[in-house]
Each structure stands twice: as C-alpha cells, then as structure tokens.
Amino acid sequence: MSEPTMTEPPTAVDLADRRVRKPLARRSWLRRLRGTSAGHPLWRQPLTVVSVTILVAWLLIAALAPLIAPYDPLAQHAATYLPPSGAHPFGTDELGRDILSRLVYGARLSIPLALVIVALALAVGGVLGLVAGYLGRFVDEALMRLTDLVFAFPQIILAMAVSAAFGPSTRNAVLALVIVSWPVYARVIRSAVLTVRGEDYLHAARLLGVGPIRALRRDVVPNSVGPAVVLATLELGNAVLMLAALSFLGLGPRPPAPEWGAMIALGSHDLSKWWVSVFPGLAILTVVLAFNILGDALRDRIDPRYAKGRET
C-alpha cells in the first residue's frame, strides 16, 4: 500500500499521481532560478540573464583586450611564478608573464575560435544532414555510415589524431574539431528533415506545384534547423573545452599564444603554483557554463513540448 506503482489502480490513481509528483527538472527552486522557460521571456530567467551577462562580458574583454590587460601578454615582466599580488592579481607564470593579461588576450583566441568551429561544423553538418534527409535512399545511407565512422571513435581521441596528423597549429586544431563535430549536426538536422518530410504542410505545398527546392527552402529548412541551432549553442561550450584540451596537449595554437588550455598545461607540472592553472580553468568554466545555460534556455523555447503552453 506504500508508493503507488505504474500498474496501480484504475488508471486514475496513476494519472492523479503524475499530476501531484513533479518531475525533477520542474522542481520549484530550479524553476524559479531558470524562470518557467515557456511562459516567461528570457530576461525573466535569472540564470539565463547571468549567463548572457557573462558571455557579453567575455566578448567585451576580448574586444577591448589592449585596454584592459595591464601588461603585454607575451612579454616577461617579473620574476617567474609570482603568486597573486596587487601588481599581478592572478600572479605570473614560468616565464614571468602576467597571467591576467594572458587570460584577457586568451579570450580573443578561445571564444572566436569556438564560434568558428561551431559555425563550420553546423554549416557542413547542416547541409549534409539536409541532403541526406531530403534525398533519402542511397545518399542518406552513405552519409549516415560516414557519421557512424566518426562516431565510432571518442571525439577527443579522434581530434587528437587528426590534428597530430595535420601538424600542430591553430588552423589544424580548428579543422580537426570541425571534422569530429559535424556528424552531430548532420544527424540532428537529418532526423528533423525526415519528420518534416512526412508533414502534410509539405505535401500540400508540393501538390500546389511548389518545386522541391523552393519547398526545401520554405517548408523544410525553417522547420528543421531549430534543434541544430540549440545544439550549436550547447556545443560552443564543448568547442572551448576541446580546443583547450588540444592546446593542453600541445596540438592547438602554438606557444607563446595565450590559449587557455595551453596555460593550464603550463601549471599542471607543479600544482603548488596553483594560480597558473586555476585562473585559466575558471575562465573556461565560466564560458562553458554560460554557453550551456543559454543553450538550455533556447531549447526550452524551441522545444514544441514547452512551446504548446504558450500558444493556447
């Protein structure tokens, strides 16, 4: 007689309990922090506001780096491994460079590169996914097996292998990351296109004599890109992380470029010099988290299951 199970009485109990029990994600405190996503405008969701603020701040920092950074990020100004102090708030690294200045300039690398990686992957994956979903048959089969091939390896291992094969450089790291990340977009767009292909509004348009290309542009694309755009926002954080990982391993931007991942690597040999790693780590953390929260908020907006409540 304790907790009712799914098979409990006449369907009524089950239904009642479903209404009483709140799914974890809809718990009230979480909800209040995030805003009710569906009903509220984005600016009424505190977490989203915070993450947007963080991202805007990082973009400003990147844009205004020369004005903000107290020192030249590449020059040696002081003794090596100075702990945080008034002159060097985040301390200095093994070459006596100011870590705060390097972080500020690092934003000019990490954030734009993440945007480029995601934009390229979305473009490549999006087009291939559209083609696969819309044409179907042989093309679909071939493209999907190709995505399987990429999915068969852990993403970071494959990215390491590709960028090692191309030789370590910023451009090759970006290429490697695009190569390992496009299949996700292709899959997402393809399944969205497959759904739209069965929709009656597409059939109705084709029956009225709308050609396949025009139908693709007006009916298929607008109704299938939503999930991929959300995914792209979520993946921006991932791109920052993966780029940092490649740099950490020496496969990204070459030293002395102030890439955050490479900066962490410098501090990883001696953890007693914690400030060398911790501050770039925090920079990565804030950016990744902000992108993820923003992506979540976007998904709640676009996901039709939440959108329904708005329409009525």
Integer Rg of the chain from CA? 24
Print the binding letters for residues 253-272 with other proteins: x by CB under 8 A, - otherwise: --------------------
- Taking CB under 8 A as the rule, does residue 15 contact other proteins? yes
**Interface pick for other proteins out of 25, 63, 142, 204 (rule CB under 8 A):** 204
**Least separation in angstroms between CB 245 and other proteins:** 38
Task: Supply the DSSP string of 7-49, one letter for each residue.
Answer: T-TTSHHHHHHHHHSPPGGG-HHHHHHH--TTSS-GGG-HHHH
Select from 3-11, 101-109, 118-126, 185-193 the region that touches other proteins (CB under 8 A): 3-11
In whole angstroms, give the CA distance from residue 65 to residue 213. Answer: 45
**Interface pick for other proteins out of 31, 108, 197, 206 (rule CB under 8 A):** 206
Residues with Cβ within 8 Å of 194's Cβ and at least 6 positions away in sequence, in order, are: 133
**Least separation in angstroms between CB 236 and other proteins:** 24
Select from 8-16, 116-124, 185-193, 252-260 the region that touches other proteins (CB under 8 A): 8-16
DSSP 105: H
Print the binding letters for residues 154-193 with other proteins: x by CB under 8 A, - otherwise: ----------------------------------------
In whole angstroms, give the CA distance from residue 216 to residue 229. Answer: 18
- Taking CB under 8 A as the rule, does residue 194 contact other proteins? no
Residues with Cβ within 8 Å of 301's Cβ and at least 6 positions away in sequence, in order, are: 37, 38, 42, 307
Half-sphere exposure of 240 (CA within 13 A, CB side): 29
Q: Give whichever of 41 and 209 is closer to other proteins, judged by the CB atom.
A: 209
DSSP H helices in 24-169:
28-34, 46-63, 65-68, 99-135, 137-151, 155-166
- Taking CB under 8 A as the rule, does residue 28 contact other proteins? no
Q: Give whichever of 67 and 200 is closer to other proteins, judged by the CB atom.
A: 200
Select from 58-66, 81-89, 211-219, 236-244 the region that touches other proteins (CB under 8 A): 211-219
How many residues lie near other proteins (CB under 8 A)? 33
C-alpha 166: how far from chain center: 24
Q: Which residues bind other proteins (CB under 8 A)?
A: 1, 5-13, 15-16, 19-20, 199-212, 218-219, 222-223, 311
